[in-house]
Amino acid sequence: MATEPIDVPELAESNESAKERLLAAAEEIFADYGYEGASVRAICHRAGMNVAAVNYHFGDKETLYVEAVKRAHNCSDTKPVDDDDPTAPASVRLERFIRHMVAMMHEPASPSAMKLVVREMADPGKAAATLVDEFIRPIAFRLRALLQELQPHQTDEERLMTGFSIIGQCLYYRQNRRVSELIFGKPQVEALTVDMVADHVVRFTRNAIGLGERPA
């Protein structure tokens, strides 16, 4: 019985380029069919690669899935900066935090990236745990620390809800962009620049937590 040849995948192609092709294909297949419904064969076919490519570059299907979810989550080129000036007032550091979050969330994500991340977060598994550990929890704890400085008399529950409100304002522009375009029209939504959105979220948040208008 003939078997499919097991070649070393894409020797003429760099490892990083081959891995990126696999991840792009995996993102689309996993988004459409989920982890259980997706097959390694379908992913490799979409990528135009030998079925041995997954084992060669990632070791197994589960690792490929985790990496595909991470890729989908990190589809923005803008990353949050470290708090490089801890001596700055907490209100300034909060504004800096918000502006970077808005910049991250304002870049449109591909439909497959959004679908894959939402699918994983709706039924969290190993990939969701990895996202939380590597990306989400550090950001959440940084925001919580800022709010503790700014609102030391708030209860933990109040502070948690305040944090959810701030993140929700930023996240809306990614998760609900296409629906907003259906409601209000694409030109009107596209006219909302990063600076416009960031200014709004900063102003809204400052007023909501009692800081008032930003000093001129």
**Whole-angstrom distance, CA of residue 171 vs CA of residue 102:** 8
Give the model's pLDDT for residue 214. Answer: 75
pLDDT at 212: 79
pLDDT at 216: 62
Structure tokens belonging to residue 40: 């390694």
- CATH superfamily of domain region 15-73: Homeodomain-like (1.10.10.60)
Tokens of residue 50, six digits:
């030998």
- Tokens 């948040």 -> residue: 205
pTM attached to this predicted model: 0.81
State the Rg of the chain over Cα.
Answer: 21
In terms of DSSP H, where are the helices of the chain?
15-37, 40-47, 53-58, 61-73, 90-106, 111-122, 126-131, 137-150, 156-175, 177-184, 186-190, 194-208
The residue length of the chain stands at 216
What are the sequence ranges of the domains in the chain? 15-73, 90-208
184: tokens are 């209000």
Q: Three-state DSSP class for 49? A: coil
- Collect all residues with Cβ–Cβ distance below 8 Å to 162 and sequence separation of at least 6: 147, 151, 154, 208, 209
User: One digit per residue, pLDDT tens: the chain, 216 residues?
Assistant: 444 444 444 444 577 888 999 999 999 999 999 999 999 999 999 999 999 999 999 999 999 999 999 999 987 555 555 566 788 999 999 999 999 999 988 877 788 999 999 999 999 999 999 999 999 999 999 999 999 999 999 999 999 999 999 999 999 988 888 899 999 999 999 999 999 999 999 999 999 999 877 766
